[in-house]
Amino acid sequence: MRIYFAVFACGLRRYSGYRAATAAGVFTNSVFGAISALVLLAVFAARPHINGYDAADAVTHVYVAQALIAPVAIMGPQLDLAERVRTGDVAIDLLRPAHLAPWWLAHDLGRAAFGVVFRSVPTFALGAALFPLVLPGDPVRWAAAAASLVLAVLIGFGLRYLYALAGFWLLDARGVTAVAVMVAGFASGQLLPLVLFPDPLAALLRALPWAGLIQVPVEVFLDKDTLPGGHIAGGLAFQAAWAAALLALGALLTARAARRVVVQGG
């Protein structure tokens, strides 16, 4: 177990090295947030209520989504594992006295932990300074939001781990990853809240794992009855189920993939 804590610390330290990049990321997330927020304010000025959202909910959605970009890594960075599969360095990873998936999970959790503190919190705070945002009213709901964030990070890892594993079959996972990133932005509610989508499409996307990255955490934060089961617990259960399914699939495919590795030695 200690080894995974060490890897976690590595991930944390690695991303803490790029201070200017972190500040630049917060700035960019805030600018994108402001653009989306202004569009949505115009929409809600024309139609004050859409599927349970009002203007304040929509702007809160935008900034929670911008705050989640870094920890759930919806637009990247991808796991280093993908590049290591392409170059063959993954052979070294497989020789380590640690399992592949937990190793990279620990590393990614380190990255996410750094992201929450230095990307999510400042981005959301800037949003709150610019626009009136809705905040959870009591400590229980804050705890639920925190749990939802952790589950979103796990789903984010589960998806990116699968993209990286695709490299074992395709040799180059970049094409798959590029398509997946675009799908994720759309299907998660990051580009636009799913409440604005046509209802049948929204219903479909709400059943897929990407909803667990942004839309469900936002609705847990806002305590919306559009969550699966109509309450926060249902939303958390939805996320937990997808996280478990993705991690299980990842573990299953890791065993398959490891058998495909051919190590050329010299």
Partner 1 sequence: MADPLRAYALLAWTWCRALAQYPLSLALLTAAQAVAVAAELAAVMFVFTRAGELAGFGAREALLVYGLAALAFSLADLLLGSVERLGEHIRLGSFDTMLVRPVSPLVQLATDQFSPRRLGKAVPALGAVVVALAGLDVDWTVQRALLLPVLVVSGTVVCCAVWVIGACVQFFVLDAREVANSVTYGGQALTEYPLAVYGRKVVYAATFAVPLAFVSWQPALYLLDRPDPFGLPAWLRFASPAVAAVLCLAAAAVWRTGLRRYRSTGS
Residue 91: both structure tokens together: 């052979």
Report H helices in the chain: 2-16, 19-46, 55-72, 80-87, 90-95, 100-115, 121-130, 139-170, 174-187, 199-206, 215-222, 232-260
Strand, helix or coil for residue 53: strand
Q: Minimal CA–CA distance to 118: which of 69, 59, 155?
A: 69
Q: Which of 3, 6, 42, 208 is in the footprint of partner 1 by CB under 8 A?
A: 42
> Which residue's entry shows tokens 């610390």?
9
Q: Is 50 in the site for partner 1 (CB under 8 A)?
A: yes
Q: Is 167 in the site for partner 1 (CB under 8 A)?
A: no
* Biggest alpha carbon–alpha carbon distance for the chain: 69
Q: What value, to the nearest 5°, has the Cα angle with vertex 197 and ends 196 and 203?
A: 120
Contact segment (CB under 8 A) with partner 1 among 5-13, 184-192, 226-234, 249-257 equals: 184-192
Q: Which of 3, 5, 13, 28 is in the footprint of partner 1 by CB under 8 A?
A: 28
Q: Is 120 in the site for partner 1 (CB under 8 A)?
A: no
Residue 51: both structure tokens together: 């599927």
| The residue type at 184 | A
Q: Which of 135, 143, 179, 263 is in the footprint of partner 1 by CB under 8 A?
A: 179
Q: Which of 5, 76, 77, 172 is in the footprint of partner 1 by CB under 8 A?
A: 172
Q: Which of 20, 95, 255, 262 is in the footprint of partner 1 by CB under 8 A?
A: 20
19 or 259: CB nearest partner 1 = 19
Size of the site for partner 1 (CB under 8 A): 36
105 or 167: CB nearest partner 1 = 167
Q: Which of 197, 210, 221, 238 is in the footprint of partner 1 by CB under 8 A?
A: 197
CB of 19 to partner 1, least distance (A): 7
| The residue type at 53 | Y
Contact segment (CB under 8 A) with partner 1 among 19-27, 110-118, 135-143, 219-227 equals: 19-27
Q: Is 46 in the site for partner 1 (CB under 8 A)?
A: yes
Q: φ and ψ at 102, to 5 degrees? A: -60, -35
Contacts of 25 (CB under 8 A, 6+ apart): 70, 119
Strand, helix or coil for residue 76: strand
Q: Is 174 in the site for partner 1 (CB under 8 A)?
A: yes
Cα separation, 128 vs 151, in Å, equals: 24
Q: Is 39 in the site for partner 1 (CB under 8 A)?
A: yes
Can you give the binding site for partner 1, defined by CB under 8 A?
18-21, 24-25, 27-28, 31-32, 35-36, 38-39, 42-43, 46-47, 50, 170, 172, 174-176, 178-179, 181-183, 185-186, 191-192, 196-198
